Amino acid sequence: MALVESIEFSVFAQFATMNHRILIGSMLLLLGLTQALARDSIFKRTFQKLHEEPPLPLKQARDDTVETLWIEQKLDHFDENEIRTWQMRYMLNRQYFEAGGPLFIFLGGEWEISQGRITGGHMYDMAKEHNGLLAYTEHRYYGQSRPLPNLSNENIKYLHVKQALADLAHFITTQKATIEGLADSKVIIVGGSYSATMVTWFKKLYPDLVVGGWASSAPLLAKVNFVEYKEVTGQSISQLGGYACYNRIENGIAELENMFATKRGAEVKAMLKLCEPFDVNSDLDVWTLFSEISDIFAGVVQTHNTGQIEGVCQKILAESTDVGGVSSYILGEFGNSQKCNDLSYDAIISSLLESTYTGNIMRQWIYQTCNEYGWYQTSGSSDQPFGTKFPLTLYTTMCADAYGSQYGNEFINNQVAATNELFGGLEPGVENVYLTHGLLDPWHAMGIKDESQATMIPNYAHCKDFDSISDSDTSEMRASKERIAELVREWLK
């Protein structure tokens, strides 16, 4: 809830010199504002957690200067008749750069870029070792990089990974042509999650522009029905939280499903404080609810740091019944600032239809899934604890309702097949890309698992290897960081 925090900060800063009565008045105003923002934002909060910028390195060089700059890009790199252009944001840190030194670029994904990415961490340490220039590029349609003034169906069609990779190619050639001392420099690219996918695919499409890349937690296989995601989520819960926890989640959710099936939906609705117009007889509403519950658990696993999964399991196991444990935890996560919890299908569709830039990226990212990747984390496997009530139909229906009726099942399947055709899926055929995965991370199921091609790091979740080498690293984590540092030395020889 960074938005709320920043409003809070500015309101207090503004009123700090006024008298107490006004201060109290503004606090009440603020309370109302916070509640208004918290309302209807359960989907957005859960979504944000699953799509946030990879965690920023803990140790930061706070004295470095980071420049925020803009570069002109074509709206459409593949249509010569389309002459519109736009400004893409990027950041540079020249602290250690010496003429001829390499360029290290962290690629932005489906998030807003921030300075801390290039003022600390393992990539930063490598740039320091090689007197490199550090850059961070923002992906079109995310953050402040807005090719067109809104996200209407007509305008969003220039959001595609092929366009984003072409933006990056233009960025690299332009920097080399304009920054003094960079003309003959070698380029290394780094990314996490979707931006790690981009690292791999950029090396495939533009092999001559970069000498190597590091891709942490890269999903490489586009797949419509991504049933493995919730399987790994369940395995990680079982591994760290114990089988009793897994069992309780499985039984608690089964009991909730059973209540809907036996005409006790109204009880569930009351227990989870679901707002009108949630319709206990509507498949789409019930599916939306169970999808959201499973995603709340996924958020815990995907972002896990030491103790996080265990802490949630303790809470769930503290209650006396399975359904009580699951529902009290879920209610807590819904937040208690609002009178009721709006989890209807219409509520999620109205978020997806918001065509202004709001800082929330659901409309953009779900568009990319409907048009390029699928990756719907459905209840299609029985080997996971989150029940049966979030089938693929929920997600494909959402695509059509949010972006147009052409986004039907067959169309989505064809688009996803085209993505794999273009980039090679699990056989991308690229050289000099170092792939890493945390074994707790549900996304690793869409990556290369063969240990001769990718490094699997036990006990870590999604994108957890960007920090500097530290004593708190496990031996496997440390070995992986040392390996990429060694590879970079070879690539830069």
Ligand X SMILES: *[C@@H]1O[C@H](CO)[C@@H](O)[C@H](O)[C@H]1NC(C)=O
- Minimum CB separation from ligand X for residue 149, in Å? 5
User: Which is closer to ligand X, CB of 85 or CB of 152?
Assistant: 152
- Minimum CB separation from ligand X for residue 359, in Å? 17
- Minimum CB separation from ligand X for residue 13, in Å? 32
User: Which is closer to ligand X, CB of 149 or CB of 332?
Assistant: 149
Interatomic CA distance for residues 278 and 261, integer angstroms: 16
User: Which is closer to ligand X, CB of 17 or CB of 356?
Assistant: 356
Q: Which residue is nearest to ligand X, using beta carbons?
A: 150
CA dihedral (119, 121, 125, 126) positive or negative: negative
In 3D space, the residue among 154, 73, 152, 68 whose CA is nearest the CA of residue 112 turns out to be: 68
User: Which is closer to ligand X, CB of 10 or CB of 150?
Assistant: 150
User: Which is closer to ligand X, CB of 147 or CB of 325?
Assistant: 147
- Minimum CB separation from ligand X for residue 356, in Å? 7
User: Which is closer to ligand X, CB of 152 or CB of 314?
Assistant: 152
CA dihedral (268, 273, 279, 283) positive or negative: negative
- Minimum CB separation from ligand X for residue 150, in Å? 4
User: Which is closer to ligand X, CB of 360 or CB of 378?
Assistant: 360
User: Which is closer to ligand X, CB of 155 or CB of 251?
Assistant: 155
- Minimum CB separation from ligand X for residue 146, in Å? 11
- Minimum CB separation from ligand X for residue 110, in Å? 21
**DSSP-derived pairing of the beta strands 223-225 and 374-376:** parallel
Q: What one-letter code names the amino acid at 464?
A: K
- Minimum CB separation from ligand X for residue 143, in Å? 19
In 3D space, the residue among 174, 76, 93 whose CA is nearest the CA of residue 132 turns out to be: 93
Distances (CA, A) of 333 to 259, 399, 420: 21, 26, 36
Positions that interact with ligand X (CB under 6 A): 148-150, 152, 155, 355
User: Which is closer to ligand X, CB of 150 or CB of 470?
Assistant: 150
8 Å CB contact between 213 and 491: no
User: Which is closer to ligand X, CB of 152 or CB of 470?
Assistant: 152
Interatomic CA distance for residues 259 and 268, integer angstroms: 7
- Minimum CB separation from ligand X for residue 152, in Å? 5
- Minimum CB separation from ligand X for residue 360, in Å? 17
